[in-house]
Amino acid sequence: MGAKSMESLKSNLFLTREAYLEAFETIMTPLKTAILTSEKPGVNFGSSGAVYDQQHAEMEALIRPLWGIGPYWVACKDDVLRDAYVEKLIAGTDPSSPDYWGDIVDYDQYIVEAAALSLTLLLHKTYFWSCFSEKQQENIMVWLNKALGCKIPKNNWTFFKVLIRLALEGCGQVINQTELEEELALIERMYLGDGWYMDGKTTQRDYYISFAFHYYSLIYVKFMRERDPIRAKRFTERAVMFAQDYLYYFDEEGEALPYGRSQTYRFAQGAFFAALIFAEVEALPWGQMKTLLAKHLHCWMQQAIFTYDGRLSIGYHYENLVMAEGYNAPGSPYWAFKTFLLLAVDQDHPFWRAEPLAIKREEKRLIEKGNMLLIHPKMKTHVLGYPAGLWLENQAHAAAKYSKFVYSSRFGFSVPKAGARYEEGAFDNVLAVSRDGEYFRVKGKVHDFYLTEEQVYYKWLPFQEVEIETTIYPFGEWHVRVHEIVTSVPLKVREGGFSLPLLGKFSEKELGKEWARVDSGELCSQIVAIEGYDHAGILQPEPNTSLFFPRTSLPYLQKELPIGTHRLICLVGGVTREE
């Protein structure tokens, strides 16, 4: 992607339909080139690996972008790209082709990608589906049908089967209504109330609720509103409720609160609002949604999210494999294209005609069903999230992504690179506990918790011999941490504050015996001992551990604890200085 293209993205304010189309075309240009020059039904975007094989990774890089390409074709036809997809889909679904993708099997990544293909088929019966011969259509339907008989995780994946069935029905197949009802019933069992779902398990509540559960349910609403009005009404009402909470996950400049898995999907954080627009559900005034989406996308375009050749990279604010999931292949970041679903709506849609409206938020928002207390400090462009009871088994960096004391839209958070030294753990906003001073453990899955607007509490056991009760008291950009510790073994603990960027060789810092402060531009991280700590320090964690900054500084407090009962209290701030 050339410098001129990058500048056009950075200056795009995303306030008109034309601005969205221009941005999509710019981001699509290097991807389109790769698709048109590939000689197989897949695209090789890079050499990094994922839990699935290379063929699946290349198929994902081809099909996943359809989340945006399909809607784009509604607004602007592109016969050259359409014909390339037709040719590759013919080869990928023909069992006699040397490039056949292979049969879909249990827990197959192909099932995930089939959902983007399903949306495209739902949108384009004439422009896309009619391009295939009867035999080719049969091959595609047979291939998609294989997914319906496969085992899948009992979570948001359930919606993939629902979308596949809707697409197959739209293509002329008689579908099994009983199985569809069973899948929809399973989704019902994951509903928690107040517009919130759990993603299979009660501890899983993250961005998948927005860009999966509600996103797919709103697609269902769009295509099934007349045939299934009761369920469509239910999905709509839930989306409206969820929107009242979800707007609090974004700060005043559109930056979303980073936490949870799949952060490399980046501006998919805004996909829920695109789905509301697509389904014609005014959950918030159209002008507020225009403001929120515009600021969100403009904010993302200021970050280094593209590779040297213009592809979306794996990472967050910059290219970064350290924070990636095992299921992140080079084409995975194009999940972000879900937000371009709004390109499928007509130019006369009220969203396009609406004037941007300011968004008013209260200073505090307790999201009981989301297990999160959100703070929007007065006169600040900053949202802080205090979670409790969130967890995901067998997830890389689960403790870092779900169980920090606090997450921030201005400071981000860090994940460990290794486990042998405190610096390798990049333990910002956690209490790291060690028996030998070398290997540290932090809060992960908790044994008890509660949240109110005034405090967040949890009980956790870093070791079998150690029980810790932590209470957090947030106020503005600061919070107080109180740890009640009972241990039958000696411990060495370190209390981490907010990480912030290290731009030069050394950080701008001040250090006392029981307090530490680091400054970097508009950001200030400070930690102050109130009771129980020995001394303070400042360190430079391993590079590329923060989702926001390639190099960071981290203030911390330290204490050696003998066997017994102890209390530690400190004051921690991640403070922004507005221009």
Query: Domain coordinates of the chain in residue numbers?
Result: 3-353, 364-576
1 — pLDDT class (breaks 50, 70, 90)? low
Report pLDDT digits (tens) over 273-315. 999 999 999 999 999 999 999 999 999 999 999 999 999 999 9
A 10 A CB-CB count for 126 gives: 7
Please name the amino acid found at residue 380. Answer: K
- Distance CA(170)–CA(141), nearest Å, equals 11
Cα pseudo-dihedral 149, 154, 158, 160, rounded to 10: -80
Phi, psi of 62 (to 5 degrees): -85, -50
pLDDT of residue 3: 72
What are the residues facing 468 on neighbouring strands? 460, 485
Closest CA to 186 of 214, 209, 154: 154
Separation of first and last alpha carbons in the chain: 32
Query: What's the length of the chain?
Result: 579
4 — pLDDT class (breaks 50, 70, 90)? confident
A 10 A CB-CB count for 177 gives: 10
Please name the amino acid found at residue 74. Answer: V
Residue range 115-128: mean pLDDT, rounded: 99
Percent share of the chain, pLDDT over 90: 96
Residue-wise over 199-237: b if at least 16 C-beta within 10 A, else e? bbeebbbbbbbbbbbbbbbbbbbbbebeebeebbeebbe
Residue range 470-480: mean pLDDT, rounded: 99
CA distances from 59 to 92, 111, 122, 423, 545 (A): 9, 11, 20, 38, 30
The backbone region for 102, taken as left when phi is positive above 0, alpha when psi lies in -120 to 50, beta otherwise, is: left
134-148 and 158-170 helices cross at what angle (nearest 10)?
Answer: 160
* Three-state DSSP state, 264: helix
What are the residues facing 460 on neighbouring strands? 468
Residue range 102-123: mean pLDDT, rounded: 99
pLDDT of residue 385: 99
Report pLDDT digits (tens) over 391-418. 999 899 999 999 999 999 999 999 999 9
Class assignment of domain 3-353? mainly alpha
- Distance CA(546)–CA(499), nearest Å, equals 8
Residue 512 pLDDT greater than 70, yes or no: yes
- Distance CA(421)–CA(440), nearest Å, equals 8
Confirm if 510 and 463 have CB atoms less than 8 A apart.
no
Phi, psi of 166 (to 5 degrees): -60, -40
Cα dihedral sign for 577, 273, 162, 369?
positive
Closest CA to 442 of 480, 495, 498: 495
Confirm if 532 and 559 have CB atoms less than 8 A apart.
yes
The backbone region for 388, taken as left when phi is positive above 0, alpha when psi lies in -120 to 50, beta otherwise, is: beta
141 — pLDDT class (breaks 50, 70, 90)? very high
Confirm if 523 and 501 have CB atoms less than 8 A apart.
yes
The residues, any chain, with a CB within 8 Å of residue 575's CB and separated by 6 or more, are 477, 478, 523, 524, 525, 526
Confirm if 427 and 442 have CB atoms less than 8 A apart.
yes
Please name the amino acid found at residue 493. Answer: V
* Intrachain domains 3-353 and 364-576 with the same fold: no
pLDDT of residue 420: 79
Confirm if 297 and 250 have CB atoms less than 8 A apart.
no
- Distance CA(23)–CA(212), nearest Å, equals 23
231 — pLDDT class (breaks 50, 70, 90)? very high
Residue 579 pLDDT greater than 70, yes or no: no
Architecture of domain 364-576: Distorted Sandwich (2.70)
The residues, any chain, with a CB within 8 Å of residue 275's CB and separated by 6 or more, are 214, 215, 218, 219, 239, 338, 341
- Distance CA(167)–CA(214), nearest Å, equals 18
- Distance CA(176)–CA(5), nearest Å, equals 47
pLDDT of residue 419: 84
DSSP, res 256: B
- Distance CA(68)–CA(344), nearest Å, equals 9
Q: Can you read off the two tokens belonging to residue 554?
A: 């981290």
Compute the half-sphere exposure of residue 19: CA atoms within 13 Å on the CB side of its CA: 17
Percent share of the chain, pLDDT over 70: 100
Residue 155 pLDDT greater than 70, yes or no: yes
Q: Which helix (H) or strand (E) holds 361?
A: none
- Distance CA(68)–CA(56), nearest Å, equals 20
6 — pLDDT class (breaks 50, 70, 90)? confident
pLDDT of residue 507: 84
Residue range 436-457: mean pLDDT, rounded: 97
- Distance CA(419)–CA(396), nearest Å, equals 13
Cα pseudo-dihedral 229, 232, 234, 235, rounded to 10: 180
Closest CA to 550 of 558, 559, 541: 541
| Geometric angle at alpha carbon 463, from 460 and 467, rounded to 5° | 40
- Distance CA(80)–CA(38), nearest Å, equals 14
Confirm if 553 and 539 have CB atoms less than 8 A apart.
yes
DSSP, res 378: T
* Three-state DSSP state, 255: coil
Report pLDDT digits (tens) over 339-375. 999 999 999 999 999 999 999 999 999 999 999 999 9
CA 169 and chain centroid, separation: 31
Provide the edge-to-edge strand list for the sheet that holds 564-576: 448-451, 456-463, 466-475, 478-487, 564-576, 523-531, 515-520, 508-511
